[in-house]
Every structure is written in C-alpha cells, then in structure tokens.
Structure 1
Amino acid sequence: MLMKVCGMKYSDNISALASLKPDMMGFIFYPKSKRFVDKKVLEMSFREFDENISKVAVFVNKSAEFIASDLVGLHFDYIQLHGKEPIEEVIKLKNYGYKIIKAFPMSNAFEWDRTEAYEAYCDYFVFDTSSPNHGGSGQQFDWNILKNYQGKTPFLLSGGISIQDIEQIKKFQHPQLAGIDINSKFEIEPGLKDIDLVQKMIKEFRR
C-alpha cells in the first residue's frame, strides 16, 4: 500500500523525509493552513528531489487556471483538491497533464453519490475527517463508514492516523484501499515532521 506524508513546510525537513522514501509527499497551498508552504522553499528542495517520490500539491477551491499558473516550474505529479471543486475544474486539470486526488470529508451523513461524478477523472480519492479547516484536524472518523463506498476509484485513508493505529490499519479491509495519508500525529509543530517517528511508521507499515 501507498504511504503519503502530507503538510511538509521546511527545506531540511523535506530532505530528511525524502530520505525515508515515502511514496508520496504532500505540500499545502491553502493560505489559511498552518502548513502553507513557501514556493521558494520548494524551488530549493526540489533541485535534488527523488523522482520516485510523487509530489502532491494540495489546493482548496481554486480554479484549474490558478493552480496551473501557481505551480509553473515546480513539476508536481498530483493535484489534491480539498474543497468543493466542480468536476469541470478537475477535467481542466487533467487536460493540463496532472494526476488528480480528490478529498472528501467523512461523516455519518456523507452522501456517497457525491463521489460518482469524479470517478472517471480522479486517480485517487482521500477520505478525511470532516473539518471546517479542510483537513489537518488530527481527528479520526469512524472507518466503518467506508463499508458504504462501492466505487471503483482507489482511496487513501486519512484523518488523525497515528503510529498506534498501525495494527488496525493492517486489519482494515476494503477492495479499494490503496494506502494511508499521515500528517498531524507525526509533527513536532505544524509542518515540521518528527523524522524518527515517521521512519518508525514507514518501517512498521511496510513490514
């Protein structure tokens, strides 16, 4: 399964995490987030970035034109959309050549037909805990909700995952579960990952 580490912000921390070789690394382009990343940091960090690690840019309610313009020269692999982006914007981003991850906020009241329009255009979904701040809550949702997901698009499990959840993750069964997305439970402060803790998680996860 895939290991995605999201919310990276500092150059040295990005380099240290890259040495652990996660499958994906996520960077937040949402200005209201405490993990909002400076593009100058990315320009420096990406000069010698492992090409085997997929780079994911996370946006909230921005147009495809804005995203494409904002990312010129940074060579991201995936765009993760974490707001209420209409399918038309997803299609435009696909036409720009990006792979797409669409996040959905999970709650007991979630209506699964909301995912259907995105099926044909998204490489992955992220199922995250519902939060007014569009993620980063550090809280888990009830994973049993996902039993109601009957779609064909693979998904990453997100929302308050910690190293204490590793056995529960391994036991969790769903035909479309592709991996996990970790963030706040592995931080010293917002945007600064505890490298030793992430290393331990990756080792246990891939065992």
Structure 2
Amino acid sequence: MKWKVCGMRDLQNIQEVAACGPDFMGFIWVAKSPRYVGPDFVIPALPANTKAVGVFVNETTEHIIALSKKAGFSVVQLHGEESQTEIDTLKAAGLQVIKAISVGSAADFDLTDQPDFYLFDTKKGAQVGGTGEHFDWSLLAHYQLDIPYFLAGGLSAEDVEEAKKLPGLYALDFNSKLELSPGLKDIEKVKEIVKQQ
C-alpha cells in the first residue's frame, strides 16, 4: 500500500517523516491554509522513493510549473475547478497530476477529467480539503473509472486495514490525524502507519 503524508512545513519534521519512508509528501501552497508553506519555500532533499507533491487551489498553470522547478516537486495536487486543459498543460510540463474530488454523494463520481490520479476527500460545505473527517466509503462503489485514487479525509493508523480492502485504491493520504499542531506531525503516529504496511 502506498501512502502520503500531507501538510508538511517544518524542516526538521520533514526529515523525520521522510525517514519513515512515505511514498509521497505534500506541501501546501494555499495562503489561507494553516499549513501554507509560504511563497519562497523550497522542499529539502527527500529520499529517492519519496515524491514531493505541491498542493494548489485554482492557481495558474504557469505559476505551478515555475514553482515546481524552483521549489522541487514533481507531482501536483489540484483542489479547485481546474479544467482538463490545465491538467493537460501540467502533464505536458512533466508533472503528474492528482485531482481532488470532494465526496458527499454518488453523483460526485460522475467524473470526466483525465488526471494521473484522483484524490477523494470529504465534502463539507464550501470548504476545500482538510475536513479531518471520513466520508461514506461505501460510495466508492459508484467509482467506475480505471484511474487510480488516493483516499483522504481524517485517516489514521486505525483506518488502514479497512481501507486496504477498497477496490481501486492506490494510496492513503494522511494529514490532520497525525498532527501535534497544523503542519507538525507526531512521529510516533507516523511510525504506526509504517507498522501497517
């Protein structure tokens, strides 16, 4: 099972989490997020098996591409209303694209975009990501596409065994349930995820 730790910001904490071997590590470039890394953040060197992910909401493709080269990420996670044209532009620039979808009902799986991955998170009003809550995983039965997906929404080590049974699952995305404070992960909780592999 692949796994991602998102919302990283503290340099020492990044290295401690990276030592645990996540497949992906997420860095948020959204100014209103409590986990915003700031405009000049550069991702420190990560192990070869850990891919850095830049997280954005309705940012221009030009800015994302330029920032990917400056900050050092190869995967982009989009949480806004980005179009297929924008997804294609990012992919043409050599970036892998994760498109986040907020799930509240079966209708949310009526999807036409073609990213490299989807990320399914919990729908909560107008909030974009970061609810810290599960959605009804039984709704995933309505997902019929071959595009692999990340599962997000208040995940902790206690959810891993059940989540592994979900069809089509590519990776689990952990954030707030592993935290001591926004952007600072509890390494003992991260190590609990490692034990579930």
- TM normalised by structure 1 equals 0.89
* Runs of 4+ residues over 3 Å off in structure 1: none
What's the offset of the Cα at 1:39? 5.2
Q: CA deviation at 1:25?
A: 0.3
Alpha-carbon offset, residue 62 of structure 1:
1.0
- Mapped partners of 2:12, 2:39: distance in 1: 14
**What residue identity is the alignment partner of 1:16?**
E
Match of 2:194 in 1: 202
Question: What is residue 97 of structure 2 aligned with on the other side?
Answer: 100
- For residue 68 of structure 1, report the CA deviation from its aligned partner: 1.5
Structure 2 Cα separation of the partners of residues 180 and 111 of structure 1: 19
Q: Is the 8 A contact 2:6 2:26 kept in 1?
A: yes
Output the amino acid matched with 1:126: L
2:137 alignment partner in structure 1: 143
Q: Which residue of 2 aligns with 1:15?
A: 15
Residue 62 of structure 1 corresponds to 59
Match in the other structure for 1:34: 34
Task: Answer whether contact 1:129 1:139 (CA < 8 A) is retained.
Answer: yes
Give the distance between the partners of 1:71 and 1:153, measured in 2 at CA.
23
CA root-mean-square deviation = 1.5
Q: Counterpart amino acid of 1:146?
A: L
Q: Residue 127 of structure 2: which of 116, 126, 133 is its match?
A: 133
1:3–1:202 contact (8 Å) kept in structure 2:
no
State the Cα distance separating 1:110 from its structure 2 match: 3.1
Cα separation, 2, equivalents of 1:149 and 1:164: 24
Structure 2 SS opposite 1:71: helix
TM, length-normalised to structure 2: 0.93
Going from structure 1 to structure 2, the CA distance change for 1:39 and 1:22 (only over 3 Å counts) comes to farther
Alignment check: 8 A CA contact 2:6 2:175 kept? yes
The number of residue pairs the alignment matches comes to 196
What amino acid sits opposite 2:119 in the alignment? Answer: V
Moved more, 146-155 or 63-72: 63-72
Task: Pick one of 51, 62, 73 that aligns with 2:70.
Answer: 73
Q: Secondary structure at the match of 1:72?
A: helix
Shift of 1:49: 2.1
- Describe the SS at the equivalent of 1:74: helix
Structure 2 unmatched runs, 5+:
none
Q: Aligned ranges for residues 164-183 of structure 1 at < 5 Å?
A: 164-170=158-164, 172-174=165-167, 176-183=168-175
